[in-house]
Amino acid sequence: MSGSQVGQTQLLSPRAAPMSFWLAAARSQAQRAFHGPVHLSGWKASTGVPSARASSAIHAAATEAEAAPVATAAEMNSMTGQEIREAFLRFYEGHGHTRVASASLVPDDPTVLLTIAGMLPFKPIFLGQAPRQHARATSSQKCIRTNDIENVGVTARHHTFFEMLGNFSFGDYFKEQAIQMAWELSTKVFGLPQERIWVSVFEDDQEAFDLWANKVGVPKDRIRRMGAADNFWAAGPTGPCGPCSELYFDFQPELGTRGADLEDDSRFIEFYNLVFMQSNRSPDGELTPLARQNIDTGLGLERMAQILQSVPNNYETDLILPIMDAAAKLAGTSYVQADEAGKTALKVIGDHARAAVYLVSDGVLPSNVGRGYIVRRLIRRIVMKGRLLGIKDSFLQLVAESAIDLAGPCDANVPRSRSRILAELGREEERFRTTLDSGEKVLEDVLSRAAANQPAIVPGADAFFLYDTFGFPLEITQEAASARSMEVDLAGFETAMQEQKKRSKDAVSEVDLTARNSLGEMASELGATTFTGHHDLQGEGQIMALLQDGRPVASASEGSTVEVVLDSTPFYAESGGQMGDQGRLFSVPADASTSDNDTPLGQAVTLRVHDCQKGAGGNLFVHSATVESGEARVGLRVAGEVDHALRLRLRCNHTATHLLQAALKQVLGSDVSQQGSQVATDRLRFDFNAPAALKPAQLERVETLVNEWIQAGDALTTSTMGLEEAKAAGAIAMFGEKYADEVRVVSVPGVSMELCGGTHVDSTSQIGGFKILSEGGISSGVRRIEAVAGPALVDYLNSIDKVVKQLGAQFKTRAEDIPARVAALTDELKSIQKQLAEAQSQAALAKAQAAASEATLTEQGNKVLVKRLDGIDGKSLQEAAAALQSTLGDPAAVVLLSSAGEGKVGMAAAFSPQVVTGGLQAGKFIGGIAKICGGGGGGRPNLAQAGGKDASKLDEAAASALSQLLEQL
């Protein structure tokens, strides 16, 4: 174990330590010994009991708490991240809270770019802008913060993606109940030793201080008063606000209370924050009591996992470690073998992979603006860290697979979106690798030259060359330099940037782009892009602007990734839920009337368009593209050609969402309204308000209606009219869209009429068919349907048909008989497993009884038997140990060991009452013996079970067990 782990483990006495520390310490040690994670659920499976107990004191505490409406501390110690999340939510459900699903990482709140806190979805309620739907709520909210991205992997607890567990009261309970529930959760459900919990309160909040000291019983020397910077929450300069109280876990209690500083991260970790929203702040700063006081809390899932799993940082928990393991394996190493720089790189990959997976799942695609840039930056950091580890091939999809596998309990939509997430991440990685492949040699050159200088500093001009020519973000160059203990001349970089702006300004006299720092500033000079692609998939336009990494450039050479702004385009820019088009741009051959397109012979310009987004308030269409040949430049005239097949898929899925909404209104009622949508090439997603899940018959009816309208083959009509006129005619607005005074109305006669700027089929018959894939809740009162239509439906049916044919061939039966065949095989398997278990149990009992005569009688009259019974499973081994101890009588101690094949080891210990009374405990004893075989375990004082991985040490373990028992008995 590392020094920090040893320190944490040694501080816990057998009577004080919850089982999480003993079992997780063994897990941590075994993990490092075998260079891979030891999943905590495996310990429970191997022991056969809800949770191992470290001592009779812990057992007694668990017994006392068994009457609680949630799992007891003894049952929940050594919890996985999933178990921690569920325990928190079930605890507050048991205290009258309504469980609310995590909101999207893309918030409705226009004041923030991403969901940054657990309370954000409830902010309108707290501010009085929306009525409360529940008096009490609890949630596990996924969050993204990137303000400290440079600290990710460097500190123990900084993350870009994290889960915030929270409980909320909207004018219901207040300070006293919030404090008491937080204490009960921490000490009884999570089993944290009371003497290791510290509390902070706002310096003027005497009420909170008294509640902690007098009601809960926290010693006053473990309660710290802190100032407003740490312990006072406010929504803004004015409005609701109030004091906070935070709970900290102490890793070094032996240092005492005198001089303790809660900001000492090496000793303390803040794990729970309680906000008491009790005042309203006026513009003049005066605080007045709120008529309805609220509670807003946050408990960091990753931090609680670090505590309960007894690991030195959040990254080595089961929430992130498997992702790091996947990356380490690709690098030909392991996390435990990596040096500090390697560990940091793996942590960054683990954290950023989680963040990127969840962001893409929620519809955020890589781009150079806003949320898209955050995803792009995260992906680029992952790729660069992988390169630092020696991973040269594409690897992000493989690492993301691990992140997706872990995401289900947090957000079920992530695994359902697996193919889309992996495809998007793969595309973005390849885009960046195209740049890296050509620029990495230059980077190496730059770093080598800088290393030879005194002092070793990367010149700003070189850093800008990498940025300008190869698209290397400045922070990537800084990180590469830092890995070699060098810095980058930032002032020189900025000087080079300004010089480039001047050169670009001189080169482009038509439009002054270089003095602009954003698309928004360009818009007034560029004018709006004209969209010609509702029906025409080809069209010409002139390049009005080129951008690299958000910065205007005059030209872009072959291999460059750029953003292209045209004055006219057939490419649809993502909006209204519909994804942007893909395709190609080609330079238009010059003619006698213009010299704009004069290019040397054989240097025609082609660009592949990967995406199209709206910029500058929707006026500009921005094409994300790669220059495939020639040199793209401002002023060049190009012909655009949209990918016909992909556009057809989008048209089918988009029209299908209109039909789906109409069907939902018929089946559920006219008050159904769209809450969000996504129209992709492989599927469609539609969010709508509904109080409960749709019944199977309702889903079937919705699907039938949509397919009936498709088969009817009605022609769609489009018209342009005034916004108010359209509303009066009954047109439905699309979620999240902003409309001008003149709007486009898309109608399926007699079925649907919506305001929509998207692209659609000419006739419903072009869709071909529609199939619902899933229906589920995404937040309180909001449901989501995912479906396929058109060519995507054919893809889906082909995949299903392939599976059915494979099963039919395997089972040698017709497709319609497969369900009955599977059911019969399942029943047969259950019967065989039951018979096998009974046979193994009987065999174990028989072997055990035969071994009774081999027991050793000590001088004190204790009977001791240690015996190997190979080939017996854990449950049967435990039953045999209990039966054998009963046969030997009291006092007696029995330890049975077994090699169950594939190197796996099983152990069981059964101690009679007098042996336990004499001070020996089966759980603690067998856990120590199991370490010899690279494992661990535990259980009750009289009966326990353990496992291991190294069967070659089984005889050594048996000899040690016998020696210790004879010595102690």
User: In this structure, what are the phi and psi dihedrals at residue 394, rounded to the nearest 5 degrees?
Assistant: -60, 135
Distances (CA, A) of 457 to 367, 482, 487, 941: 31, 10, 5, 63
| Dist. CA 579–CA 7, nearest whole Å | 53
Q: Looking at the chain, how many residues does it have?
A: 969
The helices-and-strands tally (H runs, E runs) of the chain is: 30, 35
Q: State whether residue 267 is helix, strand or coil.
A: coil
| Dist. CA 323–CA 341, nearest whole Å | 17
| Dist. CA 911–CA 890, nearest whole Å | 9
Q: Token pair of 337, please?
A: 């073998």
User: In this structure, what are the phi and psi dihedrals at residue 752, rounded to the nearest 5 degrees?
Assistant: -150, 145
Q: State whether residue 539 is helix, strand or coil.
A: strand
- Residue positions in the annotated binding site for Zn(2+)? 654, 658, 756, 760
CA 721 to chain centre: 44
**Secondary structure (H, E, C), 737-783:** CCCCCEEEEEEECCCEEEECCCCCCCEHHHHCCEEEEEEEEEECCEE
Beta bridge pairs of residue 923: none
Residue showing tokens 């002092």: 455
Q: Between helices 922-930 and 19-34, what is the axis angle to 10°?
A: 10
CA 694 to chain centre: 27
Q: Token pair of 468, please?
A: 């300008």
User: In this structure, what are the phi and psi dihedrals at residue 319, rounded to the nearest 5 degrees?
Assistant: -80, -25
| Dist. CA 927–CA 188, nearest whole Å | 24
Beta bridge pairs of residue 247: 199, 272
| Dist. CA 699–CA 772, nearest whole Å | 8
DSSP state of 455: S
**Which class for 756: exposed (0-12), middle (13-18), buried (19 or more C-beta within 10 A)?**
buried
| Dist. CA 62–CA 84, nearest whole Å | 17
| Dist. CA 609–CA 65, nearest whole Å | 62
Give the list of residues 6+ apart from residue 885 with CB closer than 8 angstroms, or none. 892, 893, 894, 910, 911, 912
User: In this structure, what are the phi and psi dihedrals at residue 172, rounded to the nearest 5 degrees?
Assistant: -100, -100
Q: Are 230 and 200 in contact (CB under 8 A)?
A: yes
Distances (CA, A) of 233 to 119, 205, 278, 303, 504: 12, 13, 10, 21, 47
The amino acid at residue 509 is S
Q: Are 322 and 329 in contact (CB under 8 A)?
A: no
**Secondary structure (H, E, C), 887-929:** HHCCCEEEEEEEEEECCEEEEEEEECHHHHHCCCCHHHHHHHH
- Report the greatest alpha carbon distance in the chain: 114
| Dist. CA 545–CA 565, nearest whole Å | 5
Distances (CA, A) of 416 to 373, 404, 600, 774: 24, 9, 50, 9
| Dist. CA 463–CA 358, nearest whole Å | 32
| Dist. CA 490–CA 463, nearest whole Å | 9
Q: What's the number of CA atoms in the CB half-sphere (13 Å) around residue 859?
A: 2
| Dist. CA 854–CA 871, nearest whole Å | 20
Strand segments (E) across 329-368: none
- Residue positions in the annotated binding site? 654, 658, 756, 760
